[in-house]
């Protein structure tokens, strides 16, 4: 039986991670860091609500005993943040501060939702930032670090992302015809959420390497084929 913590629970994948954790028999409690009160009233859920995101690492450090697994599905877009610099403060700075707090408090397994193409040496800002975050959290030396690199995320987003809309519709149509037409480049949010939980629990049991990179095919395997 495990206690976990989660940040990013209101996002596309984070919503699915939370839903999966709430129904999973091996999860006893879920500490959820967010700006607003979650809609769920499950007795498993322990909301840690603050609109001041700089308080989140402090709140995470205050959990006693510390959670066994920390899931981060935290992220935003340049458009929502207002600039790439503002996006980096969330996607990189806040994520890293939370990972550092998790490590300091004794969290054993860290699970990060990253992206396909993450590369600290990329010439493009977004994949470079994601790659730099991956390297930074690996350097923290958790007992196990799990990094998921899904492709295009398919699902119903709460926020509008016009640039992705048409491509997501194409992915959804391809998936309706056959999962094989979609799985190698786009994954359903539910599948990614399940894969994150599955990979985290396997790591907690000591299965797999110290640092595990879960690519698109493994996301599908863990989140649908073997689920």
DSSP state of 67: P
Main-chain dihedrals φ then ψ at residue 47, nearest 5 degrees: -70, 135
pLDDT at 159: 52
| pLDDT single digits (tens) 203-212 | 999 999 999 9
Question: Quick one: DSSP state of residue 188?
Answer: E
Mean pLDDT of 112-116: 97
Question: Do residues 74 and 95 lie in contact, with contact meaning Cβ atoms separated by under 8 Å?
Answer: yes
Query: Is the pLDDT confidence value at 54 over 50?
Result: yes
Encode pLDDT of 162-177 as tens digits.
555 444 444 444 444 4
Distance CA 10, CA 153 (A): 15
Write out the residue range of the structural domain in which residue 214 sits.
Answer: 2-225
Taking the CA of residue 99 as centre, how many other CA atoms within 13 Å lie in the half-sphere pointing to its CB? 30
Write the DSSP string, 120-148: TT-SSHHHHHHHHHHHHHHTT--SEEEEE
Torsion of CA 155, 184, 125, 15, to 10 degrees: 30
Count of structural domains within the chain: 1
CA distances in angstroms from 190 to 108, 155, 216, listed in the order given: 25, 8, 14
Q: How far is CA 142 from CA 20, 86, 150, 163, 219, in A?
A: 23, 28, 22, 36, 21
Q: What is the CATH number of the domain that holds 121?
A: 3.40.50.720
Taking all residues of the chain, what is their mean pLDDT, rounded to a whole number?
A: 90
Q: How far apart (Å, rounded) are the C-alpha atoms in residues 96 and 109? A: 15
User: By three-state DSSP, how is residue 76 classified?
Assistant: coil
């Amino acid at each position: 039986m495990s206690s976990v913590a989660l940040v990013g629970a209101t996002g596309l994948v984070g919503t699915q991670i939370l839903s999966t954790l709430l129904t999973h028999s091996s999860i006893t409690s879920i500490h959820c860091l967010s700006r607003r009160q979650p809609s769920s009233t499950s007795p498993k859920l322990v909301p840690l609500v603050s609109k001041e995101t700089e308080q989140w690492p402090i709140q995470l450090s205050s959990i006693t005993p510390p959670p066994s697994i920390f899931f981060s599905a935290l992220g935003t877009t340049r458009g929502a943040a207002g600039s790439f610099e503002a996006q980096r403060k969330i996607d990189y700075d806040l994520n890293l501060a939370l990972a550092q707090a998790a490590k300091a408090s004794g969290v054993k397994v860290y699970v990060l939702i990253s992206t396909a193409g993450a590369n600290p040496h990329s010439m493009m800002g977004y994949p470079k930032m994601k790659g730099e975050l991956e390297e930074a959290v690996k350097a923290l030396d958790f007992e196990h670090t799990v990094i998921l690199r899904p492709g295009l995320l398919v699902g119903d987003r709460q926020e509008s992302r016009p640039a992705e809309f048409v491509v997501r519709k194409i992915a959804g149509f391809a998936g309706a015809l056959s999962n094989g037409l979609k799985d190698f480049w786009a994954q359903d949010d539910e599948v990614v959420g399940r894969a994150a939980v599955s990979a985290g629990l396997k790591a907690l049991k000591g299965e797999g390497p110290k640092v595990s990179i879960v690519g698109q095919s493994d996301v599908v395997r863990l989140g649908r084929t073997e689920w």
